[in-house]
Structure 1
Amino acid sequence: MSVTTSPAMARAGISLAEPGDYLSLLKPRVMSLVVLTAVTGFVLAPGSMNPFLAIISILAIAVGAGASGALNMWYDADIDVLMARTAKRPVPLGKITPGGALAFGLSLSVLSVILLGLASNWFAGAFLAFTIFFYAVIYTMGLKRSTAQNIVIGGAAGSFPPMIGWAAVTGGVSFESFVLFLIIFLWTPPHFWALSLFKMKDYGAAGIPMLPNVAGTASTRRHIFAYSLVLAPVGVLPFVLGYASPVYGIASALLGAVFLWHGFRVLRMSDEDAAMVPAKKLFAFSILYLFALFVLLLGEGVVGKLAFGAA
């Protein structure tokens, strides 16, 4: 039976949360992207791991991503309640107490780092710990409410997973893994700035200095197009550098061209376009773009490992 709680109950330290509420704290959609990109780095890295330890390592990275989400929701509960997009999260709804969310996030953080360190190596474990710290402290507590460049710098946290997956196999990082980082890093600003264009009122109500609210929509549109111009060729780099096939090269070039086209449409969008249709289309396509690139890289990595093993 579902039990309805309230923010007042949460402030009183009463929690009647259901399992689904704790799952929501982990931001499962974000976690799915983290897992995909981390597994891609894991598979593309030279070398191999015991299959059981490999599964434990990927699980640890996923738990670390969930821990970051829980800590983010704990700290941002006061502004989440002000935005329609986030008001139904479990902490602002009062289903989970702030203290409960903090304890949950910290516990999972420690568990994930220890698990990854034991299953793979302590460099990867330390890298995961730094990523959680970067997202929860540097981005959530520091940058998000203080600068319009919050998503540019803070986006690094979401870009680290393929490097962590690579480090889990090799015990270090490489230029190839940095390219995977760079794709996500350059993708993050146009993705979130497109969202912020049609969610300006939400961010304004919460006092978050997103770029459209600080610099205006025209400047934001120019920034989106500029990042699109850089992202499109960077997305092709895995092929250029020789660790992706011509199939990936063609697909990434086509996807990049479509991304650039959407970026151009946003650039040309009128401020009078209340529906913000081009921004919404870019936001939707950007998700497909990133998933498609990493699914292709993952698939090629798996095929390459299987072929190498057969040989």
Structure 2
Amino acid sequence: MRIREGHLIDRAPRRFRDTLLGYVSLTKPRVIELLLVTTIPAMLLADRGTVDPLLILNTLVGGLLAAAGANTLNCVADADIDKVMKRTSRRPLARATVPRSHALIFGLALSVGAFFWLWWTTNLLSAHLAGATIAFYVLVYTLLLKRRTSQNVVWGGAAGCMPVMIGWSAVTGTIQWPALVMFAIIFFWTPPHTWALAMRYKEDYQAAGVPMLPVVATEQQVTKQILVYTWLTVVATSALALTTGWLYAAVALLAGAWFLVMAHQLYSGVRRGEAIKPLRLFLQSNNYLAVVFCALAVDSVLGLPTLLGH
């Protein structure tokens, strides 16, 4: 009996740790990192690097709560397909390490917390934008579009564009054209980023019955669409140079050329019937977004003269 009691005592901390890690995993921390890395540059650009550090911190906390809530609710809605897909089979709800009802409550609590946190620490516009983002991601993308159309990530990707809008509105209390251009950058970036990953895990999506573009179209059709959206991404990134300094413009030009070369190589490889590695473009797309927005942050902090003269 003592051995059993000791065994149970030893297992208690492990169960607690596993449960805690399960809840953290529901929020998809890696996705949150990418979303937050676009928020700070947007805020710095909004006031050319003179933003109150406390405002940045409060906005990041609110954005983190909003993204965590949306991702958790996404896991709740997608629990059935996560069990089928190898890439997602180790998620908490797929392995039943967290009860689905508990995950639902957790996601709703995070979402409500995000709204009131942003309302309290920034302004009501930012809070409403966060609430709208969560609702769009869960109700429109996850429940309506994802399982019904191959264009799911095109329109569903709008949710991933909202952190820049939230960051901009937190500083200015408004939405102005640079925020819309940053929205467009991420909007056009999302399809090539997601489709490249989906090409690598095509069989997963087929097994789960999710009509991602690589599942329903040929590789040539997919890579052509990737190329088109990559060009649109680079054009939008270049357009933002009108309100930044030379540093951002130079980095955007070089990073854009790099991104385009990768997309053209993928498309040309498919046309020639060569073996391709779409995951390389997926990783490159992450690097591209990070480099461009980091350059935007540095450019804004330095307060370099803009092409528009202010």
**TM-score strictly above 0.5:** yes
Residue in structure 1 matching 2:60, options 58, 61, 66:
58
Partner Cα distance (1:282, 1:263) in 2: 7
1:268 aligns with 2:229: no
Partner Cα distance (1:49, 1:261) in 2: 36
- Structure showing greater radius of gyration is 2
Please give the residue correspondences for 1:88-103 in structure 2 after superposition, counting only pairs within 5 Å. Answer: 88-103=90-105
Q: What TM-score do you get using the length of structure 2 for normalisation? A: 0.89
CA deviation string 1:191-226 (max 9, x = no partner):
111111111101100000000111222211110111
Moved over 6 A (4+): 271-274
- Cα RMSD (Å): 2.3
State the match for 1:34 in structure 2. 35
Residue in structure 1 matching 2:197, options 195, 198, 201:
195
Please give the residue correspondences for 1:205-244 in structure 2 after superposition, counting only pairs within 5 Å. Answer: 205-239=207-241, 241=242, 243-244=243-244
**TM-fit CA distance, 1:272:** 9.2
**TM-fit CA distance, 1:124:** 0.8
Partner Cα distance (1:91, 1:273) in 2: 39
Residue in structure 2 matching 1:132, options 124, 127, 134:
134
State the aligned residue count. 294
State the match for 1:155 in structure 2. 157
1:79 aligns with 2:81: yes
Please give the residue correspondences for 1:284-303 in structure 2 after superposition, counting only pairs within 5 Å. Answer: 284-303=283-302
State the match for 1:24 in structure 2. 25
Partner Cα distance (1:101, 1:18) in 2: 11
Unaligned runs of 5+ in 2: 1-9, 305-310
- Structure 1 pair 272–203 and aligned structure 2 pair: CA distance change class (3 A): farther
CA deviation string 1:98-145 (max 9, x = no partner):
111111000000001000011111011001000011111110111100
**TM-fit CA distance, 1:270:** 3.1
CA deviation string 1:281-306 (max 9, x = no partner):
1111111000101111112223339x
Compare the two structures and name the one with the higher helix fraction: 2
| Secondary structure of 1:270's aligned partner | helix
Q: Is the 8 A contact 1:16 1:95 kept in 2?
A: no
CA deviation string 1:61-112 (max 9, x = no partner):
1110111110011110100011111000111011111111111000000001
Q: What TM-score do you get using the length of structure 1 for normalisation? A: 0.88
Unaligned runs of 5+ in 1: 6-14, 306-311
CA deviation string 1:4-54 (max 9, x = no partner):
x9xxxxxxxxx9952111111111111111111111211211386654344
**TM-fit CA distance, 1:233:** 2.2
Kindly provide the amino acid, as one letter, of the partner of residue 269 in structure 1: G
